[in-house]
Amino acid sequence: MTEKSSIISTMTGFLYPFIVLFGFYIIANGHNTPGGGFQGGSVIAALFIARYLVLPVDDFNMDTLHYVEKAFLVFLLLLPIVFIFPGLHLVYDRFNVPYLIAMNFLIGMKVSLGLTIIVFRFGFFREG
């Protein structure tokens, strides 16, 4: 982790797009195949962590991550409050599948940002 390893950096660069693809596949097909928001979100968080393994620098703004994460949480709370809790899903049942996809996407983004923040906090924390 301290020394730069060309094997790790090359292989991570090769695997990067596949990790993104796998994560978004798990999220987008969460209503049909095993997986869902949490699993896909943690796969996407693994992407940021692979980046941390290769290049341990904090050259992006963590505040933005916090704000985006909270915004996703607000939407995550709003969508079921509007759609599920009043019972609208029983009336307009053609919106059920879009609702599932949207919820999986929101949960995935929230989870990936949350795990990324937690890991980066640990990784870049310096005492004193």
Partner 1 sequence: MKNVAVALFCFGMFFGVVFLTVEHNVELEPTLYNYFIEHGTAETGAQNIVAGILLNYRMYDTVFEAMILLTSVMGMLHFLYTGHGHGGGHGKKAGAEAHKGGKND
Partner 2 sequence: MNTIVAEAALLVVMALMALLTIRTQILRMAIVYMGIFSLSASLVYVLYRAPDVAIAEAVIGSGLVALLYLSALKRYRVYTIGVVGSNMPNVSDRHILELERNAVINDIAGFCVEREREPQTVFSQESIDEALLNTNYDIVIEEYEGGIRLYGHDENYLVDELELLFAIRDRDAELEVIRFRAGAGI
117 binds, among partner 1, partner 2, none (CB under 5 to 8 A by kind): partner 1
> What are the two backbone dihedrals, phi and then psi, of residue 49, each rounded to the nearest 5 degrees?
-75, -35
Enter the tokens of residue 58. 């904090």
> What are the two backbone dihedrals, phi and then psi, of residue 36, each rounded to the nearest 5 degrees?
150, -160
CA–CA separation, 86 and 101 (whole Å): 19
Chain centre distance of CA 72: 11
14 binds, among partner 2, partner 1, none (CB under 5 to 8 A by kind): none
For partner 1, the closer CB: 50 or 76:
76
Read off the amino acid at residue 4.
K
What residues make contact with partner 2 under the rule CB under 8 A?
1-2, 26, 34-36, 38-39, 42-43, 45-46, 49, 52-53, 115, 119, 122-123, 125, 127-128
CA–CA separation, 70 and 82 (whole Å): 18
Does position 44 interact with partner 1 (CB under 8 A)? The reply is no
CA–CA separation, 67 and 76 (whole Å): 14
Contact pick of 58, 82, 86, 88 for partner 1 (by CB under 8 A): 58
User: Which residues of this protein are in contact with partner 1, per CB under 8 A?
Assistant: 30-36, 58, 60-63, 66, 69-70, 73, 76-77, 80, 84-85, 89-90, 93, 96-97, 99-100, 103-104, 107, 110-111, 114, 117-118, 121-122, 124-128
